[in-house]
Amino acid sequence: MEAAVPPAVSAAAVSVAAVSPSVIGPLSDASRRWLHFVARRALRQAMAKRDPAALALPITSLSTTDAERPDDPRLDAPARVYVSWYDGQAHQNQLIGSLGSLEPWLCLEQAVARYAVPAAAGPRLPAARAARWHRLVGEISVLGPAQELNVQGLDAIAAALVANRDGVILGRGLAQSVEVPRQQAVALPSAWRQTPRPRDFLVALMRTAGLSPEHDGPRLRVRTFLAETFIEPVAPAGQARLTELVPEPVPELMASLA
């Protein structure tokens, strides 16, 4: 399942869009750092299969090659997870790719490792290579369960959504299945940073799903969810911090899950 994830940033380059109701409090800083380490390690190992020299690449922004796993039971608990990568060079901050699951098929740490590699093989940079390593900026989103929003129609849904909080699974008619079928799409809560107005947000997501606001708008139904989103806090040496990058709205950043 693929969804675009515009950057979630704050003064500390870490943003909690909302804490999922299925967990008690946000992840610790140590657990967040570990998960970013896991994502980079998985991607580096995949790159090394094509180019063994990739094993020399630093995994963290502090140029260390190892990290200590915190004693956090949530790392071993099933979780809904999305991993996203950005190209942060030259103030572009373009989404490379985003991949994850709306259901907790894997434990948190396993899911991050599983999705980190294919998420980096997006259309903007088809293959992560050593020359691009220091341009990559990782983001991880831990999702709560989706809930049906008890209103129907584009305008009614736009009025009910809470910007910067709600993630949205959008489709025509009721969307009850676990898998995201054709003519549905998803946007993580961080997508609001690209399209902050609820109606514009929904229209962009409808177009991603191949739906017409005029024809399908009256029948539109959505499910919403919360997410804890955290981005790599420090960019590699010589690169700008992600908090300094201000991208322009790009409609393509909300990609279909079909």
> Which pLDDT value is given to residue 144?
96
Look at 140 and 235; give whichever has higher pLDDT: 140
Angle in degrees, 0-180, between the axes of helices 108-119 and 29-48, rounded to the nearest 10: 40
> Which pLDDT value is given to residue 236?
44
Kindly provide the b/e burial profile for residues 184-195, where b requires at least 16 CB atoms within 10 angstroms of the residue's own CB.
Answer: bbbbbbbbbbbb
CA-only gyration radius of the chain, Å:
18
Determine whether 238 is exposed, middle or buried from the number of CB atoms within 10 Å of its CB (0-12, 13-18, 19+). exposed
Q: What are the structural domain ranges in the chain?
A: 29-144+227-248, 147-225
CB 128 within 8 A of CB 94: no
Residue 85 has pLDDT above 50, yes or no: yes
Q: How many whole angstroms separate alpha carbon 75 and alpha carbon 110? A: 8
Could you report the per-residue pLDDT of 54-83, keeping only the tens digit for each? 888 888 654 344 578 999 999 999 999 999
CB 111 within 8 A of CB 82: no
Look at 95 and 166; give whichever has higher pLDDT: 166
Could you report the per-residue pLDDT of 94-152, keeping only the tens digit for each? 788 889 999 999 999 999 999 999 998 866 554 556 777 888 889 999 999 999 999 99
Q: Considering the domain delimited by 29-144+227-248, tell me its CATH architecture.
A: 2-Layer Sandwich (3.30)
Look at 163 and 2; give whichever has higher pLDDT: 163
Residue 254 has pLDDT above 50, yes or no: no
The mean pLDDT value of the chain amounts to 76
**Which whole number is the average pLDDT over 182-186?**
77
> Which pLDDT value is given to residue 95?
81
> Which pLDDT value is given to residue 256?
31
| Domain 147-225 listed as CATH 3.30.1490.150 | yes
> Which pLDDT value is given to residue 133?
85
